[in-house]
Chains A and B, each alone.
Chain A
């Protein structure tokens, strides 16, 4: 199952989410949207809006599921941790 995290470098819940994934040895791609510039940043914001319907972080993609926020229970269920 592919796991992707859209995060902000400043966001406490993004740090908690990444820490939780790291502790459980989950491999994932991460995009730190606030550290991007120019078109790449605009594209990432558009992608987050399309996926989550908003611009709140983190946005965690697990397979086809989109989770907004640090939802430990849901991550656990989807990854079978």
Chain B
């Protein structure tokens, strides 16, 4: 006989903080995050998660509320990073601060103010010199795939997908302010994402360059 509750549950009774660490670490890594460098804090959050696990059967975020709607609540199972990538990219950490971006050395500095960004956030993508003029490359920003193009000293960001057959525009060919899709040659203006084909324009994002670093601006809710 199968116990449905046991089958659904990914964790055994008596799960420890170390068990959770070993279990979550590779997931976080794949998402571009690591555990906070403040190990005491990490242990405190995971201890809370174990309390919640005992109570509910899963490791829900200790800082967000379960609504009782299983579909909604599934979005706050730890690590909840995939559902809040844009907000967290702006914060450099998940809401709790359990996970921080792999590029952050000192997670302690992120534990204070934790207001979710309501304004657009500038996300660093690469150094100015990493993209020579006349070229285009793919970057992952939050959950988005974006193609960043450079024309002279101007930078432009647009969705990295041709609306025709979904080819990655970052693998296309640059010609002035135009990128040509690598698969069928549809041409997009990198300045505004427009193309001559009907209903096929792509979204663009603001780009800025500050002290040699290139930033793409995202709206937290968009």
Q: Which residues of A contact B (CB under 8 A)?
A: 8, 10-14, 33-34, 45, 48, 53-57, 67-74
Cβ B114 vs Cβ A67 within 8 A: no
Q: Which residues of B contact A (CB under 8 A)?
A: 41, 44-45, 48-49, 51-52, 62-67, 95-96, 112-116, 118
A72–B114 alpha-carbon span in the complex (Å): 10
Give min CB distance, A8 to chain B, whole Å. Answer: 6
A13–B67 alpha-carbon span in the complex (Å): 20
Q: Which of B45, B62, B65, B118 lies at the interface centre, i.e. has the most chain A CB atoms within 10 A of its CB?
A: B65
Give min CB distance, B214 to chain A, whole Å. Answer: 29
Give min CB distance, A11 to chain B, whole Å. Answer: 4
- What are the 10 closest A-B residue pairs judged by CB atoms, nearest first? A69-B114, A10-B62, A10-B48, A11-B63, A55-B65, A71-B113, A11-B62, A69-B115, A12-B44, A57-B63
Give min CB distance, A39 to chain B, whole Å. Answer: 12
A16–B123 alpha-carbon span in the complex (Å): 29
- CB closest residue in chain A, given B76: A55
| Residues of chain B lying within 8 A (CB to CB) of residue A12 | 41, 44-45, 48, 62-63, 96
| Residues of chain B lying within 8 A (CB to CB) of residue A11 | 48, 62-63, 96
- CB closest residue in chain B, given A48: B65
Cβ B65 vs Cβ A34 within 8 A: yes
Cβ B44 vs Cβ A55 within 8 A: no
Q: Which of A56, A70, A74 lies at the interface centre, i.e. has the most chain B CB atoms within 10 A of its CB?
A: A56
- CB closest residue in chain A, given B72: A55
